[in-house]
Structure formats: C-alpha cells, structure tokens
C-alpha cells in the first residue's frame, strides 16, 4: 500500500487525518516536525510556505494542514485570531479567551482548514469550513485526538455539545454542514493523482 507523508508537530491532527485516510484504504506516513509560520495572517500563504519547508527536509511529496479560527465579534479585533491561532496564544490559553469574550453576545465563530500538497513542482490546495459558536466555559474531557484546545469551547452549528464533549461518532456525523479539506484532498488524490504518484520513485 502506498504512503504519502503528512508533516505536523501536532499528534492530534495526525490521528484525525490518519483515520480519514484509513477509511479509504490509504496508508499515510507521519513526519513529526514543527514548521516555521510566516508572519502574515493568510492561511493559504502560510500553508504553502510550510509545505515548502517540509519538502526541503523530506525531498518527497508531502502535505501539511493548517487551521484558522475566526471569532466574528472578538473585542476590538473582528475575526481574530484568524491564521494566527498558535502564534496568538488563543488556543493555548482558553481561560483568557473566555475572559476576553465574557460580555460578548454574538459568539459566532468558524474554522477554516487549508491542506496543501506539494510534489516538488505543483502546489495543490484544499479547503474546509466549520461554523459554530463559542461556549461560555470549557466543556469536555481531554482527548489525545483533539486537534486543538479550541475543541473545548467550539460548538458546531446545529449542535449543543462542544467538539470535546462529542464522541468520535458524533463528531463524524454532526449536522453542521461542515466541509473537510482532508476529504476533498483524498477524493482528488484517488481520482486525479494516484496513478502518477504510485509510479513515482517515492513509492514505499
């Protein structure tokens, strides 16, 4: 079975993506690495620069996946933190986030996921969106598969539980009309790229 390599320093992200690939009978390689993020609030640009770094280290086709988190009415800074989720410290200090948002009535927020695959010649980008609201307190138990601490405060649209409160099955079948960058990439890969990739020297 062929493998393509996912580069990330976040085990929770790898866990989720690996499971999605396995559902399509595709294997996935894992390279643990924290990549430098450019100082620009543009998820597409950041993802391209990071996959370039990954390719330079591996010298083989690989992909990265990044998420932006946008809080519609964040005080004095609409749609904060955007692509700067990690750099801003929002995801690592949920208590401070909730404190900053305690008097805000409009708690609409959303994730934007960007997956970028690079084969050394061409960039392929895929996007997903998940809309929801910010809870007033942290809810849910620690889970190793959690992509982000924001799971404890993000309630998907049309749901009442945070992502961290949901079971794996509930997350997979939630009714928020979310789209998945990973699923779009998998479908494209199987349909358009697999034959070319399987024949390449990077087959393992």
pLDDT (tens digit per residue) in 56-98: 999 999 999 999 999 999 999 999 999 998 888 898 899 999 9
Q: Which residue has the tokens 């690996």?
A: 18
Quote the number of domains for the chain: 1
pLDDT at 23 over 80: yes
Question: Residue 146's domain spans which residues?
Answer: 3-198
Q: Beta 3-8 vs 154-156: how paired, if at all?
A: unpaired
pLDDT-based confidence at 203, cuts 50/70/90?
A: very low
Q: What is the pLDDT of residue 74?
A: 97
Q: What is the CATH number of the domain that holds 48?
A: 3.90.950.10
203 belongs to a structural domain:
no
109 belongs to a structural domain:
yes
The tally of CA atoms less than 13 A away on the side-chain side of residue 134 is 30
* β-bridge mates for residue 30, sequence order: 6
Q: Mean per-residue pLDDT for 151-169?
A: 94
204 belongs to a structural domain:
no
113 belongs to a structural domain:
yes
State the CB neighbour count (10 A cutoff) for residue 91. 20
166 belongs to a structural domain:
yes
């Amino acid at each position: 079975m062929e493998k393509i390599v996912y580069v990330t320093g976040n085990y929770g992200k790898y866990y989720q993506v690996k499971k999605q690939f396995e559902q399509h009978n595709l294997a996935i390689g894992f390279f643990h690495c924290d990549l430098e993020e450019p100082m620009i609030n543009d998820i597409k640009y950041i993802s391209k620069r990071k996959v370039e770094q990954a390719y330079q280290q591996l010298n083989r086709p690989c992909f990265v996946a990044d998420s932006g988190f946008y809080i519609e009415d964040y005080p004095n800074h609409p749609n904060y933190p955007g692509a700067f989720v990690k750099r801003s410290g929002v995801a690592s200090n949920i208590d401070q986030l909730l404190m900053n948002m305690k008097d805000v009535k409009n708690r609409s927020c959303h994730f934007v996921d960007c997956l970028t695959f690079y084969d050394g010649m061409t960039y392929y980008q895929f996007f997903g969106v998940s809309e929801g609201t910010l809870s007033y307190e942290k809810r849910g138990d620690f889970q190793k598969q959690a992509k982000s601490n924001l799971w404890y405060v993000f309630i998907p649209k049309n749901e009442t539980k945070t992502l961290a409160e949901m079971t794996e099955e509930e997350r997979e079948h939630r009714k928020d009309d979310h789209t998945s960058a990973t699923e779009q990439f998998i479908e494209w890969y199987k349909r358009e790229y697999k034959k070319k990739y399987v024949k390449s020297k990077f087959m393992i």
